[in-house]
Structure 1
Amino acid sequence: MPNPPRRRPTPRRGRARGGRPVASADACSASSASDLRDFAGPLGGPGLARRKKARSRQARERAVEAIKTAARRSERPTVVGIANAACVSRSWLYTQTDLITAINELQQRAPAPHRAPRHAASDASLHRRLETALERNRQLRDRMNELTRKLETAHGEIRRLRTLNQPPTR
């Protein structure tokens, strides 16, 4: 039997993990016909290099602005959040060591998210859970014994019927 085709993961829209808004593709793609004017012929030429430098500079400016905005907020910044806000990839952001250092410094200054401490179960609760589990085990054991008796009876009946239908041997 051939393997079924693999499904592509559905892109997340609207919110990233943790409920943070994600910048839409339209907000991140700012290329237009005027951006393509710098191309000189089918192989690019000098205009391509200028456009690449301009795009790199713009991406860096967006990332720096996103870091500054995160510094003004009271929540703990993440690389994913900064990358989404700046419309850059996380892999590109990780290549910018000075920006990653700035994000790490902000993370050290910002308080960690407060999590409520977990409470241990009380002795009475644990005792009740144990009693419930033991009662369920007893019920299952009784049911298993009942089914075993029925199976033994069925096998005995099958054997009896086989011996009745067999021709006598001489």
Structure 2
Amino acid sequence: MHADNSHHLIAAAQRRHETTRAKATQALRDLDREGGAVTFQIIAQKAQVSRSWLYTQPDLCAEIRRLRDLQRGAIGAPLPASQRSTDESLRRRLEVANARVRDLTAENQRIRQQLEHALGRLRASTTAR
């Protein structure tokens, strides 16, 4: 009877799986960082894996779809991850824009009041003649 060496096969399969996942993850990170288009086909080619295998990996599949959808929503070429706005910076820009709108509204109101007074004086001076 031969010794059971199946644990070597199992370990080799596990290492191959981990290596394949690492390659796919790295390809995904590289494309995102560079701002390249993220699709299942491109990731599969860069990582040298099959597209069908990518679809069987729920976390990788979800990340590819998320990045792809992000890029589809963007106009023009996709931005690299380092150039994308953070939620905090977008909030800050919105706060600044809202403050500017408030300032312009107040200035507009002051100018309207000045115009009302000027028109009132003009009317008073023309009716007094």
TM-score by length of 1: 0.39
More helix by share: 2
Structure 2 residues without counterparts, runs of 5 or longer: 78-129
Aligned to 2:51: 90
Aligned length: 73
Matches within 5 A, 1:58-97: 58-97=19-58
Q: Using a 3 Å threshold, how does the CA distance of structure 1 residues 84 and 46 change in structure 2: closer, same or farther?
A: same
- Counting aligned pairs with the same residue, the percent is 32
Structure 1 residues without counterparts, runs of 5 or longer: 1-40, 115-170
2:56 is aligned with 1:106? no
Q: CA deviation at 1:86?
A: 0.7
Aligned to 2:17: 56
| Cα RMSD (Å) | 2.2
2-side partners of 1:112 and 1:48: how far apart? 49
Matches within 5 A, 1:29-48: 45-48=6-9
2-side partners of 1:94 and 1:58: how far apart? 17
Aligned amino acid, residue 86 of structure 1: A
2-side partners of 1:98 and 1:84: how far apart? 18
Aligned amino acid, residue 50 of structure 1: A
Q: Using a 3 Å threshold, how does the CA distance of structure 1 residues 99 and 44 change in structure 2: closer, same or farther?
A: same
Q: CA deviation at 1:70?
A: 1.1
TM-score by length of 2: 0.51
2-side partners of 1:73 and 1:113: how far apart? 15
